[in-house]
Every structure is written in structure tokens, then in C-alpha cells.
A and B are shown apart, each in its own frame.
Chain A
């Protein structure tokens, strides 16, 4: 963040530049900087400011009253203590973990299977693969609404379908023991196309010669996958998984649309809790503390991602 904002500012102030300026600041140089300046300012205002603001808010008693009195007393780490000792926190952490791990695992495995399936050449392969992207492109709230209609206990098509086999109607979204599974299921559906598409591009990049050489050595289907496909895919796999984790951690739309975090907090995650505290309870300090915890967790994975994806940043 700082690089975007500081560098142009430094270059703009011509006079206090260090005495041993090797590169003169010609008009051209300033012109070039003007190309990035608007985006840099926007990023600083729309990302840098919120991140800093969120940090300060988490250390303040920032509530609805603040908007009337303008006062938000500093409270140190009290907000963090409050949210962490809240009984819902443990459940939200567990749900966040289950939601993320469950979503990623199945999105990935199914996505990989579909990527390998579509690698085979058959008529309509490309078209079908393209149409498969639809669930990923739909507005999440549209998917939530649709799945709510499908998962309705009494009239939903899923229970009607299961009823044909004599299964009693299941309260997919209203039963505390099942709701999280249902929500994860919907999120898996949404994430499969993205996994398939990225993994397909990785599978595509593996040279056919490898498989030809492998088949001469007697590599069967499974062996070819084990010794050729999987090792070649490793870099793509790590990117897919880490991006998946970072995106899934912050999922909010789907859960709010499907269950609103209920029933009985069964689908409450850190993200929904943060929303709840800030925008339902108007305890912005608490909400900020929760979302900062979310950032820290994301950043752990982000660091792994950035180390893998170094080449992009090093150019």
C-alpha cells in the first residue's frame, strides 16, 4: 500500500530530493507517474484507509452513539477480549474452519475430476466447459435465493425428490445439525467452476509428450495421474487452494442469504459475526475486532500464496 502512495509523493516534491540525484526528474518522469497516481490515490483511500480505520476502530468503543456524540473512547484491547470470550466465538471459529475446509476439499476434488474429464477430447467439450462457469458468475444472492427454494423443507424440490425414495422431509436450512452441511454444499456448488477452470488450464499446460513417454513405460491411468499429472499440477494446485481459502474465509453473501447465520448460530462464521456486530448490533468496535482477526487468518495464507507467486511481484 505504502509504495503506491509514497513513491509518487516523494517524486513530486522536487526540492527536498537527495543531493545525489542520479535520475533527473524530467517532465516525462512526472507524466509517467500521473498514469498511476489516480489509481494509487483510489487504492489508498478505498483500501489503505479502511484497513487503518478498522484497526483503530477495533481499539475504540465505537458504537451507534459515536455517530451522535462523535466520541469513541479508546479501550485498548477490550473489544478483542469481548469478542473472543463471547460464547459464540468458539462456535464461529469452528464453523469458519469447517465451512472453509469442507468447501475447499470438495470444490477441489470435484473441480479436479471435472478438469481431467474435460481434458479428454470429445465434441462439445469446450462449450460444455464454458457453460459450467455459470454458477460462479451468478450473483451470490441469486444462488442463495435459488437454493433456498430448492432446500425448502416442505415444498423444496430436493425433499420432494428424496421423498420418492421414501426419505422423510429434511430441514436443510432450519435444522441446527444439518444447516452447516447444507450451506457448505451450496458453497461447493458455487466454487466448483472456478476450481475446474483453473485446474483445467493447469492440466492443459502439461505437454502430451510426457504422457506418451509415460505410456511407453507402461504408466496406466492411475500411474499417469500419480507420476505425471499431479506433480506437474503442483504449482497450480497450491494457488487454487490458497486462493480458495482466502476467498472462502470472507464469504458472507451465501450464509446471510441462506440462513442468516442461524438456526441457533449453527452457520455463524467470523465473517457473519463481524457483520452482525457492526451492522445489526451497531457495535463497530466489536465488528472491527472480529474482522481484524479474520484478516490475520487470511494473511497467514496470503503469505504462503505470495511466496509461491513471487514471479508476479518480482518483475
Chain B
């Protein structure tokens, strides 16, 4: 990412002032592009802070910011937010527990069928979620997993496991097998050398996979929509959808819920940018 900064620097030295102006203009253009792209996010936050509880004639900036909408959002959707959090964390734990050893094996062991397994993983990412939902609904109906947190965790793991395997495996390919063999010579078993050496070395890849798994599960809407039929277990994405289902009475509360639901993405983007960038490119072009 940062390796190619030298070439333009050379050009810059020639005409210092012109280039500085050019850079200022470029930064200004960049800020403008970002402002346009992120305007909807701004508008969501702005609308959530409007006192009236209706975006009808909402001010362009919240001159009299009010948290009333948040109070209402939390009272109506608080339980759903907790449900989403449990499901997302559960999906992270379950998916990583399965995907991490598998990525290690697919990266380091000489299985003859690794190519085929990877092919299956790639294809699996292209199966529409509605196919999974269709089949899981009837299976869950029989197993009593409808309207349950484990059911949603399992469903979310369908996309999370292959994605996590692809991200972690591509990193673990780079772990020198010599250090694993050294550990084994010292008497560590496979499991130990995995836990003591591979996991610590692959920390960043595991964090990246974990963050994305969390975001996927937190954002899930399709499985929440199809695999729950009652109000008991209700992720917040479905809560927002229900707000939208009828004529929207109170945009302020909807937007406050939207902001709360957007918070993990915003926090992760700001706090963990390098992981996010790695995951965005890592999961796709492999």
C-alpha cells in the first residue's frame, strides 16, 4: 500500500509551488467526493438527532439536537440489538473455531484434494442466500431451530466459514513450514503447534476474518427475515425492516435505530482500518 510513494515525490521537487497547489486541490476534491458519497450517512445521523421525530422539513444540521429518538429506539429495539450482538459474536466464535484449523490444513498440509476443496469454497460463495434459507426453513422447522439464536448463528456461518477460510488460508500460506516442523521436532503435537505457533503468527488474519464475520452476521437480514416468525428472537435488522413495513410514522426513531445498527461498521472502519482494507481485497481476489 505504501511502497510507491517515492516516484511522485521526485517529480514534485521540480516545481514546488505548482505541485503544492495541485495537492491542495486534489485533497479538496477528495474531501468533496467523500462528502458526496457519505452524505446519506450524514443524513441518517442528522435525521436521528432532529427533535420533532419526523424528517418532514428536517433542518440541514441538527440545530437543536435531541436524543429523544435514541431513547425511543433503545426502548423499542434495545432487546433486538442485544440479540444481534449475541448472534454476531456467536457466529464469530463458531465460524473461526471451524475455519481457522481448516485454513491451516488447507494452507500447510499436502492433501491431494486441496484444489477441489478450494473450488467448492469459491462456488459456495456464489450460492444465493435465498437458496440456503429455502432449505434451512424446512429443516429448521423439523429440528425446532426456527426462532432460535443457534439457528441464526448456523445460518450466518454459511457465508462466514468459506469467507474466513479464504482470508486466513491466504495468510497462512505465508507461514514458513520450517517453524512448524521445528516445533514438532521439539515434541509439540499438531494441535499444539497450531495453537502455539500458527495462531499467534496469524493473529492479524484471524482478526480480519473475525471482524468481517462479525459484520456479516450483524448485517444479516435475509436469514433473520426467513428463519424467524415471532417477535421473541429478532435481530435489529429485522426490527428496522418492520419499521419500514408500515407507513413510516416516525423517521427519527428509524434513523436512530439505523445509526445504532451502523455503529459497529463505523467503529471498525475508524479503529481497525488496516484490517478492513485487508479483508476487502483479501476475500475477493484470491
Interface residues of A (CB under 8 A from B): 1-4, 7, 28, 31-33, 35-36, 38-40, 42-43, 46-47, 49-51, 53-54, 57, 62, 66-67, 114, 117-118, 120-126, 128, 130-150, 152, 154-157, 189, 192-194, 197-198, 201, 204, 208, 212, 236, 239-240, 243, 246, 249-250, 252-253, 256-257, 271, 274-275, 278-279, 284, 287-288, 291-292, 294-295, 298-299, 302, 305-306, 309, 312-315
* Any A CB within 8 A of the CB of B15: no
> Are the CB atoms of B255 and A43 closer together than 8 Å?
no
Structural contact, B55 and A141, CB atoms closer than 8 A: no
Bound Cα distance A194, B279 (Å): 11
Contact in complex: A122, B23 (CB < 8 Å): yes
Docked-complex contact B44 and A35, CB < 8 angstroms = no
Count of chain A to chain B residue pairs whose CB atoms are closer than 8 Å in the complex: 333
> What per-residue 1/0 map shows which CB atoms of B192-234 lie under 8 Å from chain A?
0010000000000000000000010011011001100000000
Q: Is the CB of A249 within 8 A of B118?
A: no
* Interface pair B251/A57, CB less than 8 Å apart: no
- B269→A133 contact, CB < 8 A: yes
Q: Are B261 and A139 in contact (CB under 8 A)?
A: yes
With an 8 Å Cβ cutoff, the count of chain B residues facing the other chain is: 110
Q: Which of B232-282 contact A (CB under 8 A)?
A: 237, 240-241, 243-244, 248, 251, 254-255, 257-258, 261-262, 265-266, 268-269, 273, 276-277, 280-281
Interface residues of B: mostly helix, strand, loop or mixed? helix
The residues of B with any CB-CB pair to A shorter than 8 Å are 1-2, 4-5, 7-9, 22-23, 26-27, 29-31, 33-34, 37-38, 40-41, 43-44, 47, 54-58, 97-99, 101-102, 104-106, 109, 111-124, 126-139, 141, 154-155, 157-158, 161-162, 165, 173, 189-191, 194, 215, 218-219, 221-222, 225-226, 237, 240-241, 243-244, 248, 251, 254-255, 257-258, 261-262, 265-266, 268-269, 273, 276-277, 280-281, 284-286
B127 touches A295 (CB 8 A): yes
Within 8 Å by CB of B128, from A138, A154, A189, A271, lies: A271
